[in-house]
Amino acid sequence: MTLATSMRLSTPLSIEEKSTILISSNPSITNNNLTKLYKYSQETEIKSYIDQNGIICQCQQLTERALLAQRKIFLRKKLGEGSFSCVREGFDIFHQYKVAIKIVYTQRASKD
């Protein structure tokens, strides 16, 4: 699974709307949330693959959750799913707006 792209779902709300809607119902910048984001941003995993010469190689890379945490985005509900990807709702706590995250399953997608 690879994080392919992210894009804005909605524009940031005005100051009045933020105070009545966003702060009460969306994640905010608290010590607990920042601690979680920092912890998640350090996550790595080891990926194995076979190169062109048939040699098994390993590399260490950040997890999808780490990539989102570094951008200060909380992952939320699934919006849709297709054959090769799914789209999840996220919330950018730094900029205070919703985002859509498209996650592409590279093993299912063709190599073309």
pLDDT in the model for residue 80: 93
pLDDT one-digit tens code per residue, 15-68: 443 433 333 345 556 667 667 777 778 788 888 888 889 999 898 888 877 888
**Residue 53: CA atoms inside 13 Å, Cβ hemisphere, count?**
3
Location of structure tokens 């997608």: 109
* Distance separating alpha carbons of residues 73 and 63, to the nearest angstrom: 14
**18-32 burial code (b ≥16 CB/10 A, e <16):** eeeebeeebbeeeee
pLDDT one-digit tens code per residue, 78-97: 999 998 888 989 888 888 88
